[in-house]
Each structure stands twice: as C-alpha cells, then as structure tokens.
Amino acid sequence: MAKQGFFEMVYEVAKLIPSGRVTSYGAIANYLGSKGSARMVGWAMNASHNMPEVPAHRVVNRSGLLTGKHHFDARNPMQERLETEGVEIIDNQIQHFDTLFWDPIIELEL
C-alpha cells in the first residue's frame, strides 16, 4: 500500500458513509489521526469535486449544520440530496443528527 495523500483517505472514508447517514469533518479528521486538521477535511471535500462518487453532502460540521452547502453545485443542493436519502433538514440543520451521525471511529471500529 503506497502512502496515500490526505485527500485520498478522506475520500475513502466519505465513500463508506451509508446512505441516510451523516458525519462531521472532525470525526473524519480524528479517524485519520489529525483531529486538529478538521478544516483540511472540508478542504479535501472541496477537491472532491473531481470525485463525484464522494458523498460530500453527507459530511457536515459537528452541529449537523450544512456549512458546506454553499460550495455545492446550486443545481444539486446538498439539502435536497440528503432529504432524498431520508435525512430531515430544517434551515440547513439536520434533524435527529445525533441518531443519523455516523462516526468512522465507531462504525469502522478499526
């Protein structure tokens, strides 16, 4: 296994997020071992535009707020995609976020 870039790792984790579930930047960063670089996870998501298979819409901030929706394609609203997956969202805020939260550290359990 060649040493992958940080972005690749973020993509891998993002792809593992089940439909109808969401996670946070910090959770992914923590899973990667760099809890301080949560911003970078979002930044990696920004680069994920080249990777349509990466469900960046399932990644939100720790409050369950769709902070990165502004970076999404206006014709493919992040909220609409999540709602299609069964996630209830009100005012960019994911409802039942605690229940829908998918933590790679816990779910993947290493």
Partner DNA sequence: TGGCTGACTTTCG
Partner DNA sequence: ACGAAAGCCAGCC
**Site of interaction with DNA (CB under 7 A):** 5-7, 24-27, 34, 36-43, 45-49, 56-57, 59, 61-63, 67-72, 78
Q: Positive or negative, the Cα torsion across 46, 32, 78, 67?
A: negative
CB-wise, 15 or 39, nearer to DNA? 39
Angle between helices 6-15 and 38-47 (to 10 degrees): 80
Q: Which is nearer to DNA, 71 or 96 (CB)?
A: 71
Write down the least CB distance from residue 91 to DNA, Å: 15
Nearest distance, CB of residue 59 and DNA, angstroms: 6
Q: How far is the CB of 82 from DNA (least distance, A)?
A: 12
CB nearer to DNA: give 36 or 99: 36
Please, where are the H alpha helices in the chain?
Answer: 6-15, 25-32, 38-47, 78-84, 97-100, 104-107
- The structure tokens 């709602």 sit at 83
- Minimum CB separation of residue 100 from DNA in Å reads 14
